[in-house]
A and B are shown apart, each in its own frame.
Chain A
Amino acid sequence: MYRYDELDQAFVEERVAEFRDQTRRHLAGELPEDEFRPLRLRNGLYIQRHAPMLRIAIPYGLLRAPQLRKLAGLTRRYDRGYGHFTTRQNLQLNWPALADVPDILAELATVQMHAIQTSGNCVRNVTADHMAGIALEEIDDPRPYCEIVRQWATLHPEFTYLPRKFKIAITGSPEDRAASEVHDIGLRLKRGAGGELGFAVLVGGGLGRAPVIGALIREFLPLGDLLGYLEAILRVYNQYGRRDNIHKARIKVLVRSLGTARFRDEVEAEWHACRGSAPILTPADVERMRGFFRPPPYETLADRDVAAGREPRFAAWYRYNTRAHRVPGYRAVFVSLKAHGGNPGDATAQQMEAVADLAERVSFGLIRTTHNQNLLLADVPQNRLYEVWRELETEGLATPNIGTLTDLIACPGLDFCSLANAGTLGVAHDIQRHFDDLDYLYDLGNIEIKMSGCMNACGHHHVGHIGILGVDKHGEEWYQISLGGSANGFTALGEVIGPSVPKHEVAATIGRIVEVYRAVRAEGEPFIETLRRVGLGPFRAGAYALHPQAA
């Protein structure tokens, strides 16, 4: 993975010094809150319901073991001994003290980490496929390009005060695990007519209040023009994106108001006009960056049947929590942060340290965070899987539910977030309790539940097979349920099935929805395909069948 050179290290240290000075001025009363706010946001610091919240960047979800250990130590020293992994592959601390934040950032800088641009109206953490570099069907590893974009976007002099936040995702596989179609810019690696690498460029996707699937504005962009083209898009947006209404300030609104064709023409014209002064990536730049992401030194191993003769719980874990690997004899192992009874995406300091230790022993010392709020050990030899399972089991990290209904995504909700209208954690716990029978879960197969506590959609509810959106009704928490969304390869936005339901009814309503599925599915047919085949009608009827108090 990428290692800082002197330039990167000097930069993060100078950034810490700058924020230390800004925090000092703020606490001394020299920098009022309205002036401090955009500065602290660009260093990852929100003021939340209970305390400040610090969002630490994990660029494209990749961590070295000492970095994860550092994060664990920070949660112990400055927080309450746990952290929350987010859908954008970052880590949030819920309880730091404002005066401590410069020290936290200084500690992060000692392990080549930071919290720069994890919030605020600027280019955010660039996200990628968590299977990058090991997926069987991958065209090219997206991470070198993610790192190039990360560096280019860091304190970009022209684009640090955009109309609104700006999210970029890069995928290297046809199966789009990075959800590139619901980002401000989605980049999809592909090969051109002569076999050369480049990107398809999508713009204006996003969730939030008005969910939109991104529009393709360029079929093929050569690698060398990546940064020049991004600058052209950002310059058009920076000048013409709306700034009068926060709810209309995302680039998707600009794309929609101009129309895709005219937006594309503006970008192309800008791109051609600025080519003489735009940064270009030379093949040497690209090659240098690719050098950081070369495959680790795999051993020559053969695939083996590791589940044979083992206990059923291990076999279930193997089946659900591990994935095929490009290299024979290896598997990718999910570390489930979806224990029943826990908060989705939360990990304690002890769990983080255990995963860091395991990574050093069996997975080349690297850990990935996933968009689904789990961790991943990407390169585990199959002959170590049983040992890995036992350790994860001891730490409560082996719930064999990846890809099942209880591997659900949830934002922190009303318990932490000052934007939320309704809680998500209590509902998640209800769902986990309702679906605690693993055999029943396995019978249901792949069902993705995504839940947000408000329409900002941090929990990506629009693209859940089952989406749950918390709403406030006269001070009470109610939940709107949608069906049919998806984000992997075939992006679709779910449709709300009917009136919202009260908190205590959410799990039972989902129970009735999946019972409809069990009744009407064809042999071997996954939930989302049954939904697409039979439509919402039967689900709508079933969901409310026993539910007189829905309003």
Chain B
Amino acid sequence: MRYILRRREIVADDWAHLGEAVAGDAALIVPLTDLHTDAARWAAWRGRLGARLAPADRVEDLATDLPRLDLVAIEFPNAGDGRGYSQARLLRTRLGFSGELRALGAGVRQDQVFLLARCGFDAIELAPGQDLEAARRALTRYSVAYQPGVAGVTPGRQRFLAP
């Protein structure tokens, strides 16, 4: 059983990734390319559906799928690759996605979760072996921020508010 951080709670993951053994009505996360190349299969999928973006994927390519999706997972192959932060922000603010936005990959660790949450991620699937409880505490590491956040963790005080 995999555990994730959803908002500020540690919960059992009720989603599976494509390739993991699941029933035909499971909640399943499918990479963007699979979603598009095998469109008919996923249109007929009986369970909840999520898409998984790689760093080089463009969020605009997901626009028409969004109404069908309950989750978007964004991959951070290492902590230094920050493209996912912009993908998340665009999904939330430009494409108006309000489902679960999940960060995952080897680059997702306790030292990144504060920024991730401020960009609109509300679910964190930590890199294997990382300490979920420490990550949960790290979400409230800062009580202040200089920029407006997207969603999720919003510190008490911020400057330069959006219009």
Query: Which residues of A approach B to under 8 Å, CB–CB?
Result: 6-7, 10-11, 14-15, 17-18, 22, 35, 38-39, 121, 148, 151-152, 154-162, 227, 235, 238-239, 243, 273-274, 276-281, 285
Residue ID in chain B nearest A281 by CB atoms: B160
Given A14-B141, A273-B94, CB of A285 within 8 Å of CB of B82: no
CB-defined A-B contacts under 8 Å, sample of 14: A7-B159, A11-B146, A39-B111, A121-B82, A155-B145, A156-B146, A157-B145, A157-B147, A158-B86, A160-B82, A161-B85, A235-B86, A279-B161, A280-B162
Bound CA span A61–B163, Å: 31
Q: Which residues of A contact B90 (CB under 8 A)?
A: 235
A277 nearest in chain B by CB position: B93
Closest to A239 in B: B86
Given contacts A14-B144, A38-B79, contact A157 B115 (CB under 8 A): yes
Checking A38, A152, A243 against B147 with a beta-carbon cut-off of 8 angstroms, the contacting residue is A152
Q: With both chains docked as a complex, state the minimum distance between the C-beta of A26 and any C-beta of chain B, in angstroms.
A: 11
Closest to A279 in B: B160
Determine the distance from Cα of A22 to Cα of B134 in the docked complex, in whole angstroms: 12
Q: Is A154 a contact partner of B146 (Cβ separation < 8 A)?
A: yes
Checking B85, B111, B144, B162 against A277 with a beta-carbon cut-off of 8 angstroms, the contacting residue is: B162
Which of B105-145 touch A at CB < 8 Å?
109, 111, 114-116, 118-119, 141-145
Alpha-carbon separation in the docked complex, A159 to B146 (Å): 13
Closest to A42 in B: B111
A156 / chain B contacts, CB cutoff of 8 Å: 146-147
The interface on chain B, measured as residues whose beta carbon lies within 8 A of the other chain's beta carbons, has a size of 36
Q: Which residue of the partner chain A has the closest CB to B158?
A: A7
CB of B149 closer than 8 Å to a CB of A: yes
Most B-side CB within 10 Å, residue of A158, A281, A285: A158
> Chain B residue with minimal CB distance to A39?
B111
A to B contact number (C-beta, < 8 Å): 103
Report whether B162 and A158 are in contact in the complex, using a CB–CB cutoff of 8 Å: no
Bound complex: CA A379 to CA B66 (Å): 60
Known: A160-B115, A285-B160. A35 touches B148 (CB 8 A): no
Cα–Cα, bound, A285→B162 (Å): 12
Cβ of B141 and Cβ of A155 under 8 Å apart?
Answer: no
B157 part of interface (Cβ distance < 8 Å): yes
Q: Which 4 A-B pairs have CB atoms at the shortest separation, nearest pair first? A: A161-B82, A157-B118, A279-B160, A277-B93
B-to-A contact residues, CB < 8 Å: 55, 79-83, 85-87, 89-90, 93-94, 109, 111, 114-116, 118-119, 141-150, 157, 159-163
Once the chains are docked, how many angstroms separate the CA of A18 from the CA of B94? Answer: 32
Give every chain A residue within 8 A of B81 (Cβ-Cβ). Answer: 161, 243
Closest chain B residue to A18, Cβ basis: B141
Give, as a whole number of angstroms, the nearest-CB distance from B123 to chain A.
16
CB-CB nearest in chain B for A158 = B85
* In the complex, chain A residues whose CB is within 8 Å of the CB of B143: 10, 14
- The distance in angstroms between the C-alpha atoms of A327 and B45, with both chains bound, is 76
A157 near B119 (CB under 8 angstroms)? yes
Q: A14-B142, A148-B160, A160-B115 are known contacts; what are 12 more A-B pairs with Cβ within 8 Å? A: A7-B146, A11-B142, A11-B145, A14-B141, A121-B80, A121-B82, A157-B149, A238-B83, A243-B55, A273-B94, A279-B148, A279-B162
| Most A C-beta atoms less than 10 A away, residue of B79, B147, B162 | B147
CA–CA, A152 to B79, complex, Å? Answer: 22
Provide the bound-state CA to CA distance between A152 and B146, in Å.
Answer: 6
B144 to chain A, nearest CB (A): 5
Which residues of chain A come closer than 8 Å to B118, judged between CB atoms?
157
Contact A161 B162 (CB under 8 A): no
- Known contacts A238-B86, A239-B86; is A7 also within 8 Å of B163 by CB? no
| Other-chain residue from A151, A159, A279, A280 in contact with B82 (beta carbon distance below 8 A) | A159
B163 contacts which of A17, A151, A154, A280 (Cβ < 8 Å)?
A: A280
CA distance A148 to B163 in the complex (A): 17
Q: How far is the CB of B158 from chain A (nearest CB, A)?
A: 8
A276 B163 Cβ-Cβ under 8 A:
yes
CA distance A277 to B147 in the complex (A): 11
Tell which of B87, B109, B111, B161 has the most Cβ of chain A within 10 Å: B111
In the complex, what distance in Å separates the CA atom of A6 from the CA atom of B143? 11
What are the residues of chain A within 8 A of B55 when measuring CB–CB? 243
Q: Give the residues in chain B near A148, CB-CB below 8 Å.
A: 160
Q: What A residues does B163 contact at CB under 8 A?
A: 276, 280
Alpha-carbon distance between A102 and B89 when the two chains are bound, in angstroms:
32
**Interfacial chain B residues near A155, Cβ < 8 Å:** 115, 142, 145-146
A151 and B146 in contact, given A18-B141, A274-B93 (Cβ under 8 angstroms): yes
Report A-chain residues with C-beta under 8 Å of the C-beta of B94: 273-274, 277
* A6 to B, closest residue via Cβ: B157
| Cα of A158 to Cα of B145 in the assembled complex, Å | 13
The CA-CA distance from A10 to B144 in the complex, in Å, is 7
Contact indicator B145/A161 (Cβ below 8 Å):
no
- CB atoms of A7 and B144 under 8 A apart: yes
Query: Residues of A contacting B79 with CB < 8 Å?
Result: 35, 38, 161
Tell me the minimal C-beta distance from B84 to chain A in angstroms: 9
B93 → chain A closest CB, angstroms: 4
Report B-chain residues with C-beta under 8 Å of the C-beta of A235: 86, 89-90
Bound CA–CA A154/B142 (angstroms)? 13
Residues of chain B within 8 A (CB-CB) of A162 are 82
Q: How far apart sit A7 and B160, CA to CA, in the bound complex (Å)?
A: 12
Contacts of B111 in A (CB 8 A): 22, 35, 39
Chain B residues with CB under 8 A of A285? 160
* Bound complex: CA A346 to CA B143 (Å): 38
Alpha-carbon distance between A22 and B79 when the two chains are bound, in angstroms: 15
Name the B residues within 8 Å of A276 (CB-CB).
Answer: 93, 163
Q: Report the separation of the CA atoms of residues A405 and B146 in the bound assembly, to the nearest whole angstrom.
A: 43
Report A545 CB to chain B, min CB distance, Å: 50
Please measure, in the bound complex, the distance between the C-alpha atom of A363 and the C-alpha atom of B141, giving whole angstroms.
40
Beta-carbon contact of B85 and A238 below 8 Å: yes
The one of A39, A152, A239, A280 that contacts B83, using a Cβ cutoff of 8 Å: A239
CA distance A278 to B149 in the complex (A): 10
Determine the chain B residues whose CB is within 8 A of the CB of A277 once the complex forms: 93-94, 148, 162
